[in-house]
Structure 1
Amino acid sequence: MIARRTLHDELTRALEAGEFVLHYQPQVALQTGRVIGVEALLRWQHPLRGLLLPGAFLPALEAHPIAPTIGRWIVDEACRQVAAWRDAGLPTIRVAVNLFGAHLQGGGLAGEVMDAIGRHGLPADALEIELTERIALHSEDAALDPIRLLHGEGVAIAFDDFGTGYASLSSLKRFPLTRLKIDRSFVRDVLTDRHDADIIRAILGMAQSFGLDVIAEGIETPEQESILRAMGCREGQGYLYGKAMPPQALADLVARDCLIMPGLSAA
């Protein structure tokens, strides 16, 4: 209990001190290899322990009263960064942000997201909200109204880790989705496990029937990319294309990708 309370106090201090940062993992079109989007991932620049990955603090943060505040900051910072990249000469790429359950339950999500998009001069489809199955399981239908409003405004809505739990199929009816993310656990053994390959084919077929886009997570080898492309998957994310990286490194990657001068500012 003491350790948990100490971590909670540290999270509050970290928010006040501006120690949270976003790193960005590229998402690519499998046919061309071009970066078409990024996923914004939270990191904690701890003054003593260095850069901390979410596993070290995210469970505590999700249960902390400051979770909605952090969620608002993530949305605003991601939009600000995409606008900064655009002002530096890069194309407007899609940025995906992960949603805290507490942020959704707060009731003001739709207005906060649209305010951030408008404040930074972005088109609505430059932002994608990612929902996990746990959020889907614990959300009443009324709590989904902000998601429906955002979808109606053109914000993309993705279902993360699709296929890993029993709520996934029912969620296709409840949520106004635009994209499914194939979980890395299926991609990892797609070359050696027939069942994983069949599950991926089923997800792709289901997405096509629902008119949804699909992105595969956890692609680490050219062979995985090749078989996914042959199956009809159009987008991918994983270490083959890059780990989550600071904004300037991502800007340099996209600059090379677009054959324009590198060294763009990511301020």
Structure 2
Amino acid sequence: MFNPGATPRLFNSAWKLRVHSLHTLNKETGVQRSVRDIEKVLSHEQPGVRWVYEQLVKGELYLVGQPVVSLTHTSQVFYYECLLRHRGDGFKYNPFLILEQFDTVRLLDHCVVSTVIAMLEQAPALSLGCNVSARSAHLDDDWWGILARLQQHPAIASRLTLELTETAKLPTERQAQDFVQAFRAAGAKVAIDDFGTGFGTIDCVRKLSAQLVKIDKGYLHRARASAADALLFQRLVALSGCLGEQVIVEGIETPDDLAIAQASGAANGQGFLFGRPAALSVASVVLLAHA
């Protein structure tokens, strides 16, 4: 059973020292390292990898938001999930799968999270979340720099949610646990995205101790027409409630979907019924190479 009162093991004096030292290092060398990292991916042998980062450098990538709402009071927004978009004709393929395949997604994830934090700084009334690939879930200098930024601004950290995707394997279980615990210790929330699909096992999700579990929309959609699938959905919600503090049902598109989700006991929901991805109240933010 998940223990929401458990103290992340990295929340100690050594963790604070690590955050402080990396924050100082980032001030001195962050720009040079960012330029070096960008140059590396811009010369990558895989055309799809090069194209994504070319668009990033050109300022063609930006973020929109979709609300995650309370299922008890659907006008109450829990947070907005920030989703990556392209200013031109859109993505002609799933760029994240290619970046994960060639282990080049971490730089993009750093940029997205840094940009979301910048948006939170601009809009004190907003709570925002964004995806982070499982491949990126291990602490490096850039993550420590971001953690230092959050530690200095707890009011921002408390409004940030990182959603770990399951489309790729975790680097290692221990590294992923350290990643989750570090961001929790800094005051942010962590969610398991699209639970029930991908590489995330029940045991792995249990050990990660994320606060939020988001159930993949396919389970709700199948529950529309099948009694067996409806029962499976209800049991998956119950299981997810044992793995995290709150459950979020994805893919709510109709009033019937809402009724199924509410009857399951889940706390929050997301889907077209509550709003499609759209510009947020904060000014449109172009994704920067290192916000």
State how far apart, in whole Å, the 1-side matches of 2:173 and 2:185 are: 19
Structure 2: give runs of 5+ residues left out of the alignment. 1-44, 286-291
> Separation in 1 of the partners of 2:177 and 2:141?
12
Kept after mapping to 2: 8 A contact 1:164/1:183: yes
Give the structure 2 partner of residue 205 of structure 1.
238
1:242 paired to 2:283: no
| Corresponding letter in the other structure for 1:222 | P
Matches for 1:53-132 after TM superposition, within 5 Å = 55-63=93-101, 66-86=104-124, 91-93=125-127, 95-105=128-138, 107-108=140-141, 110-117=143-150, 122-132=155-165
Q: 1:176-206 deviations in whole A, cap 9, x for unaligned?
A: 2101111100111323212322222213322
Are residues 24 and 119 of structure 1, via their aligned partners in 2, closer, same or farther at CA, if it must alter by over 3 Å? farther
Question: Which digits, 9 at most, give the CA deviation of each residue in 1:87-144, with x for residues without a partner?
Answer: xxxx232x22111244324634642332443577743221111123344555232343
Instruction: Give the RMSD, CA atoms, in angstroms.
Output: 2.7
For residues 161-180 of structure 1, what are the structure 2 equivalents within 5 Å? 161-164=194-197, 167-180=200-213
Q: Secondary structure at the match of 1:220?
A: coil
CA offset digits 1:4-29 (Å, max 9, x no partner): 84333322322221221111111111
> Which residue identity lines up with residue 37 of structure 1 in the other structure?
Y
Aligned to 1:51: 90
TM-score (normalised: structure 1): 0.78
Residue matched to 1:40 = 82
User: Which of structures 1 and 2 has the larger relative contact order (alpha carbons within 8 angstroms, sep 6+)?
Assistant: 2
Match of 1:25 among 56, 61, 66: 66
Q: Give the conservation status (yes or no) of the 8 Å contact 1:83–1:121.
A: no
Q: Aligned residue pairs: how many?
A: 240
CA contact (8 A) 2:131 2:164 kept: yes
Cα drift, residue 61 of structure 1: 2.9
> 2:90 is aligned with what amino acid?
L
Q: Which residue of 1 aligns with 2:265?
A: 232
Q: 1:25 touches 1:243 (CA, 8 Å); kept in 2?
A: yes
Residue 34 of structure 2: aligned partner: none
Contact 1:81 1:266 in 2 (8 A): no
User: What CA distance in whole angstroms lies between the structure 1 residues aligned with 2:192 and 2:101?
Assistant: 22
Deviation at 1:246, TM superposition (A): 2.0
Q: Is the 8 A contact 2:130 2:162 kept in 1?
A: yes
Identity of aligned residues (%): 24
Helix, strand or coil at the partner of 2:123: helix
Aligned mates of 1:109, 1:156 — CA distance in 2: 19
Alpha-carbon separation, structure 2, partners of 1:60 and 1:110? 22
Q: 1:183 aligns with which of 204, 212, 216?
A: 216
Unpaired segments of 5 or more residues in structure 1?
252-263
Pick closer, same or farther for the CA change 1:206–1:8 going to 2, 3 Å: closer
Partners in 1 of 2:263 and 2:107 — Cα distance?
42
**Normalized against structure 2, the TM-score is what?**
0.72
